[in-house]
Amino acid sequence: MPVIRPSEAVTHEIHGARFVSYATPRTGSRELCAWRGEIPAGTKAPAHTVNREEIFHVLGGELLMTLDGHTHHVTAGDTVIINAGSTLAVENPTTEVAVSWVTTSIGLEAELADGTRITPPWAN
């Protein structure tokens, strides 16, 4: 059983947020990816459509998550299921960092409104 220590996690930053990657094929996972997301106060990530289901669990703080046009206020302990093909936007309107734990299957891609495709290294 591979154990990934915090010192071995890889940190990525995009759109003002930090993604601390723990489980990927590079660390021994064969099917799933998992990371800790850190969304700073005042951050508003662009809307994107995902090709894989994601499970987004809020560990601390609070967020506004717009999923397929419906905005939800989520706080620590809440879990959001983002189905493949859904469009998601995440905003932290507070003065505190929000922290999440996210899992998905290997191969996640996101498409921005302008057609730009992102293959996040923390999910592949």
Between residues 104 and 122, the one the model is more confident about: 104
Q: Does residue 51 lie in a domain region?
A: yes
Q: Is 110 part of a structural domain of the chain?
A: yes
Cα 11 to Cα 37, 58, 88, 115: the distances in Å are: 10, 19, 22, 26
Domain that holds residue 47: 10-123
Token pair belonging to 102: 């996210």
Residue 2 binned pLDDT confidence (cut-offs 50, 70, 90): confident
Provide the domain count of the chain: 1
Is residue 2 assigned to a domain? no
With pLDDT > 70 as the criterion, what percentage of the chain qualifies?
99
Q: Is there a domain that residue 1 lies in?
A: no
For tokens 């939800």, the residue is 72
5 domain residue, yes or no:
no
Has residue 97 been placed in a domain? yes
Phi-psi region of 28 (alpha: psi -120 to 50; beta: other; left: phi over 0): left
For 85-100, write each residue's pLDDT tens digit: 999 999 999 999 999 9
Give the domain CATH number at 48. 2.60.120.10
pLDDT of residue 1 exceeding 70, the answer is no
| Strand order from edge to edge, sheet including 62-67 | 70-75, 62-67, 87-91, 48-50, 110-112, 117-118
pTM score, whole prediction: 0.92
